[in-house]
Amino acid sequence: MMCAQQEQSCQTLTVLVVDDEKAIVNALKRELRSLDCQVVTATSGRKAMSILRTQSISLLITDHNMPEVTGVDLLRFAHQYSPQTKSYMLSGEGDLQAAVELLNQGLITKYLAKPWDRVSLQQEVSAILNACKAANDSHVQDNAAQQKAIKAVSLRDYQSLILIRLMNISDIRLSHGEQHASELEALLESRIDSLITQKHCLRLEQSGLFGLYLEQTTVEQTQILCAQIRQQLQRTFNVNGSAIFCHVGIGFRALHDCSLDHDILINSLNDTIVRDSHRISVSHLDNSTISQYQRQQQLSAEVEQGLRNKEFKLAFQPKVTTETGFIQSAEILLRWQHHSLGWVPPSEFVRLTELDGQIQAIGEWVLENGFKAASELRRFSSELSSIAINISAKQLQSTHIVEFISEKLKQYYLPPSFIELEITETALAENGQYLEELLWQLKLLGVKLAIDDFGAGFTSFSYLSKLPIDVLKLDRSLIVDVHKDRQRQEFIGSLIVSCKKLGIKVVAEGVEEEAELACLSSMRCDTIQGFIYSPAVPRQEFEKLMIRQPFCK
Q: Highest mean pLDDT: which of 112-116, 134-138, 415-419?
A: 415-419
Q: Decide: 407 and 395 in contact? Cβ < 8 Å.
A: no
What number is the average pLDDT over the span 401-427? 92
Q: Which of 477, 387, 472, 352 is nearest to 423 (CA)?
A: 472
Residue 429 pLDDT greater than 80, yes or no: no
Angle of the 2-9 helix axis to the 118-152 helix axis, nearest 10: 170
- Separation CA 551–CA 185 (nearest Å): 68
Which range, 217-226, 249-258, 368-377, is most confident?
Answer: 368-377
Average pLDDT, the chain: 84
pLDDT of residue 288: 74
CB atoms within 10 A of CB 288: 9
Contact 330, 388 (CB under 8 A): yes
Cα gap 468→60, rounded to integer Å: 38
Q: How far apart are CA 222 and CA 217, in angstroms?
A: 7
CA distance 83 to 98: 21
Check pLDDT > 80 for residue 545. Answer: yes
Q: Is the separation of the CB atoms in 472 and 464 below 8 Å?
A: yes
Question: Using 50, 70 and 90 to split pLDDT, how confident is the model at 540?
Answer: very high
DSSP 470: S
Task: Choose the most confident range, by mean pLDDT, from 95-109, 133-147, 290-304, 513-527.
Answer: 513-527
Asked if residue 428 lies in contact with residue 461, where contact means CB atoms within 8 angstroms, the answer is no
Provide mean pLDDT across the span 94-119: 71
CA 15 – CA 55 distance, rounded (Å): 10
pLDDT grade for 167, boundaries at 50, 70 and 90: confident
Interhelix angle for 169-176 vs 118-152, to 10°?
130
Residue 9: per-residue pLDDT: 41
- Look at residue 55 in the predicted model and tell me its pLDDT: 83
CA–CA dist 150, 205 (Å, integer) = 8
* CB burial string 97-135: b at 16+ within 10 A, e below: ebbeebeeeebbbbbbeeebeeeebbebbeebbebbbbb
Cα 3 to Cα 10, 143, 144, distances in angstroms:
11, 11, 10
Q: Which amino acid is at 341?
A: L
pLDDT at 410 (0 to 100): 95
Report pLDDT for 10.
Answer: 46
| Range scoring the smallest mean pLDDT among 189-198, 290-299, 495-504 | 290-299
Task: Flag the least confident range among 134-148, 159-173, 221-235.
Answer: 134-148
Q: Select from 214, 217, 279 the least CA-distant residue to 249.
A: 279
β-bridge mates for residue 206, sequence order? 209
Q: Helices in 417-528 by DSSP H: which ranges?
A: 425-430, 432-445, 461-464, 476-479, 486-502, 514-522
Please compute the mean of the pLDDT values over residues 500-527 and round it to a whole number.
94
Give the CATH number of domain 14-133: 3.40.50.2300
Q: 522 CB contacts (<8 Å, ≥6 apart)? A: none
Element (H, E) at 23: helix 22-31
Q: Percent of the chain having pLDDT more than 90?
A: 34
Query: Same CATH fold, 155-285 and 14-133?
Result: no
Output the pTM of the full model: 0.61
DSSP codes joined into one string, 293-317:
HHHHHHHHHTHHHHHHTT-EEEEEE
Q: Give the number of other CB atoms < 10 A from CB of residue 150.
A: 17
Query: In one letter, which amino acid is 396?
Result: L
| 87-96, 294-303, 521-530: least confident range | 87-96
Write out the E strands in 356-418.
386-390
**Is pLDDT larger for residue 32 or for residue 388?**
388
Give the whole-angstrom CA distance, residue 387 versus residue 409.
13
Residue 449 scores a pLDDT above 90: yes
Q: Are strands 160-166 and 248-254 parallel, antiparallel or unpaired?
A: antiparallel
Predicted confidence (pLDDT) at residue 140 exceeds the cutoff of 60: no
Q: What percent of the chain is modeled with pLDDT above 70?
A: 89
Q: Which residue has the higher pLDDT, 256 or 378?
A: 378
Mean pLDDT of 469-498: 92
CATH level 2 (architecture), domain 295-548: Alpha-Beta Barrel (3.20)
Sequence ranges of the domains in the chain: 14-133, 155-285, 295-548
Report pLDDT for 139. 52
pLDDT of residue 2: 34
pLDDT at res. 1: 33
Report the alpha-carbon distance of residue 531 to residue 480 in Å, rounded: 12
pLDDT tens-digit map of 24-69: 888 888 888 888 888 899 988 888 888 887 788 888 888 887 877 7
Instruction: Identify the pLDDT of residue 92.
Output: 65
For domain 155-285, which architecture applies?
Answer: 2-Layer Sandwich (3.30)
- For 75, the enclosing helix (H) or strand (E) is helix 71-81
